[in-house]
Chain A
Amino acid sequence: MPFPLPKIIEILDCLPSAQGLMEQLIAARLAHTKRDLIAALATLPAADVDQFQKTYDSLDVEHQARVLFSTELGETLVAIEGHGRQHADEKLLKRIIDISAREHAIYEFQNGRISTYLRTTDAKEVYSPLGDRVLSRESKVWKMRPQYLIDDTIAVDFDSPIASRYEPDSGTLSAHQLEHTEYEKQLVLEKLTTTLTNIDKASPILGLLMRNFVRRIIVRKSIDSSQIFKNLDRAPLGSEHRPHQPSSFRALNIHHPQKTIVSCMESAFHESVHNVLAYWETVNGYFAPADREVRPVSPWTGNTIPNHSLAHAVFVWYALHRLFERCVLKEAELEECDVGEIRRRLATFASGFLIQRPLTQCFTHSGEVNGELQHAILSMQESIRSFYGKALKVA
């Protein structure tokens, strides 16, 4: 079923259609992932396919969905697609088998059985591809290690192999990794729980958005709490989403005292919206080219970002404005929120929409911006400009 781009705006505007639209988008993504998986498996030898099916077919529907929605499967399929399926690295293809085997191993363990995988692996830890469950082996005995979860739904990932990677062009995973203390882990968990609770209070639909589209938050510590910054712009407190890792985002230094709850709400929702857009793009194709040689300047941050990122940015800043408008209405109920900070951030969210020109003129690629995208961008800009109508006229 087609999912026109303006429907994303309906979700962000929390219209009555929002929940149904989210379900529709998730179903479309699920179907797309299944097709990609089948296509990738088709390039494997029959024996390998059998090995995959043995574990995958043993899972119930819920656990098969866990595999399909997982960050690990998503990034593996993206990598295979990037190589071209016929030329994909054998390691990537084998990884699909391993992903299913690990989910199966944990599923069996929870049902009181030790799978062949657990009996034969040399690994000391076995992670679910969703990141929310992990088995660890102590003295040859496997145990389910408690994982950090928000609302029993979203995994907070401090130190899995994925969370511990070094990525030189990542704003978060290029930072040197320090170990969280247990106290800091609990603090991070509390802050993110309060974050989701506040988003729920401001808008249950937008809280549902975060739960539906984010299943793993990778948290990296790169500075100690004692390191205080006079200029917050220089503090490493950012977050990022990477399209090759669906259903997740990364965040820096949530434990730090200068990472406020309002900032956590902004980061978490910002990246959740990126995940929604990535879901849409997986099914419908990219909004705009991701060329990096000539990058427009974001009217919000002044940073140079690819055209594709600018397209995302318009939706994200719009979504944040919509969320924080609702936060103002419910500010008496929000926990640990500085209402002044909420209003100052609204000024920032609005600022990019209030430039002299249509935002479509900020893009730097040959040819016209895709018609549907253009219409969506202009409608969001008009919506915010109308909201601030008084500010744009003489008092």
Chain B
Amino acid sequence: MLKKIANANCGIMDFIIQRTTAVILTIYSIFLIAMIFSRNGFNECKKIFTFYIFSVPIGQIISTLAFFSIAVHAWVGVRNIFMDYVKSDIIRMFLHVITLFWNIGTVIYFLKIIWSI
């Protein structure tokens, strides 16, 4: 019965999710690089990040959406790796739980930093 739970059901939704989150993340990376090059601050990237992106509400919202996309993209990718290499169902489900904790834990850590909770 575990075979029906710990596998990808049809695979098409996860395929599309990985591709769209990948496109979203490349657009976000281009946005970050454009911010760095527009202020001419290749030597002071950290100042640009703190003062121009992470302290303005629109930058905070865009970064939060990007981190959610990272979490979803990473979960689909790592689950594919486990499906390829781990043959026992119980161990694979245990590893799924651990990676979900790591994933959602880092998202909570990012939220805590960016929104100054």
Binding partners A and B: no
